[in-house]
Amino acid sequence: MAIKKYHESRGDHHRNICLVPTSAHGTNPATAQLCGMKIVPINCDENGNIRADEVEEKAKQFAEKLSCIMITYPSTHGVFESSVKDCCDSVHKYGGQVYMDGANMNAQLGLTSPGLIGADVGHLNLHKTFSIPHGGGGPGIGSIGYKQHLEPFVPGHAEVPIEGRNSGAVAGAPYGNAGVIPISYAFIKMMGKTGLLQAAQQSILNANYMANKLDGAYKVKFRGEQGRVAHEFILDCNEFKEHGITEEDIAKRLMDYGFHAPTMSWPVVGGLMIEPTESEDVYEMDRFIDSMVAIRKEIQEIIDGTQDKEANVLKLSPFTLSHLTQEEWPYKFTREKAGYPAPWLKELGKVFPYVGRVDNVYGDRNLVCSCPPSSAYF
């Protein structure tokens, strides 16, 4: 909205083209479209980087109508893109603005900044980067950072006006999620400049440690020019599909090892995106690594034919307590292999899922209304 109002203030009402990389979060094109912009996709190269030559080409092609580009840095593919400044320069050259999605801000703290790479405006996720809970109903929240030329166009609030802003409100609450924001403030104050830098360094170190440990058993999809990943990495599980094993099977089986699965099937179809952040200790990461390596051995058993193609530990996972303790056990593997596949499950305690495998897609495509008829209320 700030970018749109900025262009309109200069008489450029026709600037409505937003360049969006194909690797972007789905929220990026959705946000731009909500503002009335038209989306032009930008492809990535084989290493997962935004194609800088295509950014230049599309920015030039749509120069008269170019509004902005939306990028995530480091990229959603888990690499620091060396061409990010070139991409920003190309957009600026043809009159556009740069919006940076701050989803991966925890890899930037103290190392670089949105302004340094050329961004004009962007949101900085407080969840994940600044200690606010993420997922499971946690209060996802972001603050907005912008350069001075956009300040008059950043939304204010109708009930509690901010002097110099005339763009109206985008949130019902004038101070945002006021109960959450002080947590991030306290986190930043306690961490300090050196602490925030260390958090970013640790998140990158953790991701590279895990990527290197898992490389070989699995394929790490993307790496940067120096052979490193950023704060997250993607394991490509597509090679197992010819043997009937999908990334969903791996995700479900992880529950039997005591882990909730990482991001699945996005941004790469058939992939698992793993992001340890700075807060996991080496013992927890090693348990996860050992689990993934053990699952890879279970996959190999299916490939080699020592486990049944359908009735195996991956396809039947996760195993509930009632399933594990049923009187009949018609499988070729033991109950222990099914429910206690790792030694730490007995040492640290086992948490059983309440529900086994369900057909997720069927549930999404076949909605059932359990609402009683209106006559039931009279």
* Same domain assignment for residues 83 and 214: no
Amino acid present at 8: E
Secondary structure of the chain in HEC code, one letter for each residue? CHHHHHHHHCCCCCCCEEEEECCCCCHHHHHHHHCCCEEEEECECCCCCECHHHHHHHHHHCCCCEEEEEEECCCCCCCCCCCHHHHHHHHHHCCCEEEEEECCHHHCCCCCCHHHHCCCEEEEECECCCCECCCCCCCCCEEEEECHHHHHHCCCCCCCCCCCCCCCCCCCCCCCCCCCHHHHHHHHHHHHHHHHHHHHHHHHHHHHHHHHHHECCEEECCCCCCCCCCCCEEEECHHHHHHCCCHHHHHHHHHHCCCCCCEECCCCCCEEEECCCCCCCHHHHHHHHHHHHHHHHHHHHHHHCCCCCCCCCCCCCCCCHHHHCCCCCCCCCCHHHHHCCCCHHHHHCCCCCCCCCCCHHHHHHCCCCCCCCHHHHC
CB 33 within 8 A of CB 39: yes
pTM over 0.85: yes
* Same domain assignment for residues 149 and 220: no
Residue-wise pLDDT tens digits, 104-129: 999 999 999 999 999 999 988 888 88
Query: Is 103 within the bounds of a domain?
Result: yes
- 170: tokens are 């985008």
* Same domain assignment for residues 172 and 207: no
* Same domain assignment for residues 153 and 272: no
* Same domain assignment for residues 226 and 95: no
Residue 194: CB partners within 8 Å, gap ≥ 6?
110
Query: Is 296 within the bounds of a domain?
Result: yes
The radius of gyration computed from the CA coordinates of the chain, to the nearest angstrom, equals 24
**Number of residues that make up the chain:** 378
* Same domain assignment for residues 223 and 339: yes
Residue-wise pLDDT tens digits, 123-146: 888 888 888 876 555 556 778 899
* Same domain assignment for residues 228 and 277: yes
* Same domain assignment for residues 93 and 210: no
Query: Is 377 within the bounds of a domain?
Result: no
Query: Is 282 within the bounds of a domain?
Result: yes
* Same domain assignment for residues 225 and 283: yes
Query: Is 374 within the bounds of a domain?
Result: no
Query: Is 59 within the bounds of a domain?
Result: yes
* Cα distance from N-terminal residue to C-terminal residue, the chain: 47
* Same domain assignment for residues 167 and 259: no
* Same domain assignment for residues 249 and 159: no
Domain boundary residue, one of 134, 159, 176: 176
Query: Is 195 within the bounds of a domain?
Result: no
CATH for 267: 3.90.1150.10
- Mean pLDDT for each consecutive 10-residue tract of the chain (378 residues)? 95 97 87 94 90 96 97 91 94 97 92 95 87 65 89 87 79 79 92 96 97 97 92 96 96 96 91 92 96 98 96 96 95 96 93 89 82 78
CATH for 150: 3.40.640.10
Query: Is 360 within the bounds of a domain?
Result: yes
Pairing of strands 219-220, 17-21: unpaired
In 3D space, the residue among 158, 85, 82, 151 whose CA is nearest the CA of residue 117 turns out to be: 85
The pLDDT of residue 219? 97
Number of compact structural domains in the chain: 2
The pLDDT of residue 120? 98
* Same domain assignment for residues 104 and 252: no
Q: What is the extent of the structural domain holding 74?
A: 2-125+142-176
